[in-house]
């Protein structure tokens, strides 16, 4: 895949990491922090909205599933790579996902009582270029989102 090769050969131009507790009140903080960092690439409002939405889904998964009945730490690492690629890693040390393929199926949810639509991963996949999930039951999950921001002409 073209984009994958590009990602493997690029340099890290800028990086930030933020760690916070898995409280639902931090969901908006998380997506805003990532959006504020990515803003330096001068993304379109649509691109920024895509990133906000995807991050919100990933962080909500940590709050609702990874740390179901407890508060744990969520860590987000954002790297700006050459060629305007943004790489966002959302990591938790929660319960892990037993069956990743199943978890990523649209409409599949283990929390219907919370009115979860089961669309979290579908949204991430639709709003980002690449979505990768690594998980170990009992030790946590890392979701990696890659998205290329369209370069703006005449913006040096």
Identify which of residues 112 and 138 has a Cβ nearer to other proteins in the complex: 112
Q: How far apart are CA 8 and CA 124, in angstroms?
A: 21
Which of 10, 16, 18, 53 is the binder for other proteins (CB under 8 A)? 53
Identify which of residues 57 and 92 has a Cβ nearer to other proteins in the complex: 57
Stretch near other proteins under the rule CB under 8 A, chosen from 54-62, 77-85, 90-98, 144-152: 54-62
3-state per-residue secondary structure call for the chain: CHHHHHHHCCCEEEEEEEEEECCHHHHHHHHHHHHHHHHHHCCCHHHHHHHHHHHHHHHHHHHHHHCCCCCCEEEEEEEEEHHHEEEEEEEECCCCCCCHHHHHCCCCCCCHHHCCCCCHHHHHHHHCCEEEEEEECCCEEEEEEEEECCCCCCCC
Establish if 49 lies at the interface with other proteins (CB under 8 A): yes
Stretch near other proteins under the rule CB under 8 A, chosen from 46-54, 84-92, 128-136, 144-152: 46-54
Per the residue annotation, which of 31, 47, 52, 61 is the catalytic one? 61
Question: Min. distance of Cβ 50 from other proteins in angstroms?
Answer: 8
Looking only at residues 77 through 96 of this chain, which bind other proteins when binding is defined by CB under 8 A?
Answer: none
Which of 122, 129, 130, 134 is the binder for other proteins (CB under 8 A)? 122
Annotated catalytic residue 79: no
Question: Min. distance of Cβ 18 from other proteins in angstroms?
Answer: 17
Task: Write out the catalytic residue numbers.
Answer: 57, 61, 116
């Amino acid at each position: 895949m073209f984009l994958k090769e590009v990602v493997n050969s690029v340099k890290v131009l800028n990086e930030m990491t933020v760690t916070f507790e898995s409280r639902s009140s931090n969901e908006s903080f998380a997506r805003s922090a990532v959006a504020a960092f990515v803003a330096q690439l001068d993304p379109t409002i649509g691109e920024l909205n895509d990133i906000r939405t995807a991050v919100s889904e990933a962080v909500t998964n940590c709050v609702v599933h990874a740390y179901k009945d407890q508060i744990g730490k969520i860590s987000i690492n954002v790297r700006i790579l050459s060629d305007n690629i943004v790489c966002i890693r959302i990591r938790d040390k929660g319960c892990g996902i037993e069956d990743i393929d199943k978890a990523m199926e649209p409409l599949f949810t283990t929390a219907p009582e919370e009115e979860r639509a089961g669309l979290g991963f579908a949204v991430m996949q639709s709003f980002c270029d690449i979505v990768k999930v690594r998980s170990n039951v009992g030790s946590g999950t890392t979701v990696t989102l890659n998205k290329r921001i369209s370069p703006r002409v005449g913006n040096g």
